[in-house]
Structure 1
């Protein structure tokens, strides 16, 4: 059993701390929010992640998982301190490191013995050295420490599985001894461990996220071309995915990426490139295409309801940026809702788990009780999130309660033939709609 402290109880920090506790370590998670810590001490997760609440309660009962707002308490016996705080986008797309700075200063003030500080937040290349300088300057008295970069590669909605079954663990440090100790901590995961320097480890994280975002934008651009040429992007993606050089993952056409990682990380990498004299044309195109997919949705809704959205009742199916999470950061649905309201549409939304977050974030969006309440009297529905709940809906019932049975499928969850047979006017991303308008309008 090792003693760990984890600064930050967001998606990364909470899954990291809870999983390490489940592996048999003694873990104390720290957060400056007294409200969040009070919830966690009651065994209530402040975020939605499948299986997380149960794992928190199990490890609290076993005495391995603790929560506090006090850095002194958390670092009392800690050998490793993980920094897992947010790094939101700044004004120019740069990563805002104010929370990393605060965590590093707090760690420095609370240190009473040598520790290994592990950056798990997604941070710009060079942040590891910057954190080391902050800790060194902020210590009341000199105490040895080392800084290690160990970026996370988990996906919201499957964070626990991804942590326990990683494709690789990346570790970068100026100290070979510290890197080896962090590697030993991860050995129970039985995966490939990549040992490198600080800056390369930080770059691996950004390059990985930027590449995945690029795959999403690539297939979305292909989807728009497929619509023009009468091809089916679903079959195109399947045909591409069998090529081992390409792979099938992240080739699902839709409304684009969102969440806490891809949008800010691509912007941050673009900003880093510009600041250092590079020309990130590909990254700019990735960002532009992603934004265009929101416009694709609005354009198709406008066209299908008769050319004007003013006064039209539009329902958004799904508000979280992806299924199995309540995270609405950079969610396509919320951006689209704003664009639709600007054209005079009456916009409603429904999501299985993200409603509480949406009510705080967008007070102008009417929230429906369920998908059928959303569809009642609607002129059109837009599928924004591919929740399984939406795949299992009673579609004939949906058709019967809509004012106009129009569905724009931004996630390609329905079959063209079935929707046409049921009488829906139906469009999906990258699938020729010349013969799939149905007889709904």
Structure 2
């Protein structure tokens, strides 16, 4: 099939490359000339394990190409995916649909023949109706269907998630569109992937409901961690004890400094606003958002307390800046709350992240970026683990102790055994454990 992907951000580029790997002819379109030029040179705009090789192999095979010319990409396409950004709108938390609306207008202008227009962007309930009305207004005689097909890609594991998904959700009541989407995803039928066909509005809500539920789990276990600290329990064992219950499940029960990233923060806010306007408030989600916001702010106080209650003039080493490992994404990362708070308290910050330092430089000022975890520890009064990158999991404690002014470690991801650190002379502080 001939597939056009409008937008070469995280979702668009990964989805386009994977569809090409399924054997479809894919054109990825973006208005950013510099980004398209870099993609022609094999330079990825994001870090995602395996993506560079996947793009390269499909470009060489002639199945994947990049352009800034939307008209040429759209006119002969069987399916056109809208995969543009929907950031939180300033002031009210609603999803900003301006890029989606613009894409809909331009697609309607250039499509020829029957075209399935697929909304891959995360959008509020009713956006498919909006896209349909915009396209019908621009091209009253156009033959097209608008479909919802939300993505469920985890940063750092996106290619596997696309090729071996838990499910594929397709929102349409148009039988022609269903047949097109079945053919598009036919390679997944071989793996017996569940494909849920539903109406468009239900499909749109599934995406928000899923992300909000996962955010609730994270906020819940973080609050349990606070309780564990007060009563002398171990949150990791609590998480294991409840996670072995199949009704709960063990995933997303790792206590930490709070969730961040491109999805959970904006999607929970957008769901809240949609629910409030529908006069059906989602109070559990509202409490989750408040809990997570407060948690990220409290983490700086936890670090200051571990340093004796005062970090003025002290050097704090930060390991990890991105919101999670295996990505360079800094959006709503806990580090964006924690680091400025430490700077405001008078600390000097030296930091390292395996992939996120270039992005971090755009968001954080007044800190020193260094190369490697041991450079972070040099003359530090405390070492803080903010992101659980694999290379931070087997540090040489003796070497760290020799390099640091004070052997203090604040492990906000619980990647180490407390006894191991303490036996090596460290003051060790973690989340929800003794």
Deviations 1:65-118, CA, capped at 9 Å, x for gaps: 000011112113210001111110112111011111111111112212221000
Which residue in the other structure is 2:43 paired with? 44
| Residue number among 250, 253, 256 corresponding to 1:251 in the alignment | 253
User: Per-residue deviation at 1:128?
Assistant: 0.3
Dislocated runs of 4+, deviation >3 Å: none
Which residue in the other structure is 2:112 paired with? 112
Which residue in the other structure is 2:168 paired with? 169
Deviations 1:130-188, CA, capped at 9 Å, x for gaps: 0111111223x621100000000110000000000011111111412212321221121
Alpha-carbon separation, structure 1, partners of 2:292 and 2:317: 22
Alpha-carbon separation, structure 2, partners of 1:261 and 1:300: 26
Q: How does 1:359-398 map to 2 (within 5 A)?
A: 359-398=361-400
Which residue in the other structure is 1:53 paired with? 52
**Mean CA deviation greater in 360-369 or 222-231:** 360-369
Gaps of 5+ in 2: none
Q: How does 1:285-304 map to 2 (within 5 A)?
A: 285-304=287-306
Which residue in the other structure is 2:25 paired with? 26
Query: Which secondary structure state, in structure 2, belongs to the residue aligned with residue 118 of structure 1?
Result: strand
In the alignment, structure 1 residue 148 sits paired with structure 2 residue 147: yes
Is the 8 Å Cα contact of residues 113 and 142 (structure 2) preserved in structure 1?
A: yes
The number of residue pairs the alignment matches comes to 430
The two structures have a TM-score, normalised by structure 2, of: 0.97
Which residue in the other structure is 2:316 paired with? 314
Which residue in the other structure is 1:158 paired with? 157
Is the 8 Å Cα contact of residues 306 and 429 (structure 2) preserved in structure 1?
A: no
Alpha-carbon separation, structure 1, partners of 2:385 and 2:298: 13
User: Per-residue deviation at 1:399?
Assistant: 1.4
Alpha-carbon separation, structure 2, partners of 1:311 and 1:289: 31
Which residue in the other structure is 1:35 paired with? 34
Is the 8 Å Cα contact of residues 272 and 282 (structure 2) preserved in structure 1?
A: yes
In the alignment, structure 1 residue 269 sits paired with structure 2 residue 271: yes
Alpha-carbon separation, structure 2, partners of 1:258 and 1:365: 21
Is the 8 Å Cα contact of residues 254 and 293 (structure 1) preserved in structure 2?
A: no
Alpha-carbon separation, structure 2, partners of 1:205 and 1:259: 16
Which residue in the other structure is 2:225 paired with? 223
Q: How does 1:191-210 map to 2 (within 5 A)?
A: 191-210=193-212
User: Per-residue deviation at 1:365?
Assistant: 2.6
Alpha-carbon separation, structure 1, partners of 2:351 and 2:291: 24
Alpha-carbon separation, structure 2, partners of 1:229 and 1:58: 55
Is the 8 Å Cα contact of residues 297 and 408 (structure 1) preserved in structure 2?
A: no
- C-alpha RMSD of matched pairs (Å): 1.1
Deviations 1:259-282, CA, capped at 9 Å, x for gaps: 100000001101111122223221
Is the 8 Å Cα contact of residues 8 and 83 (structure 2) preserved in structure 1?
A: yes
Query: Which secondary structure state, in structure 1, belongs to the residue aligned with residue 317 of structure 2?
Result: strand
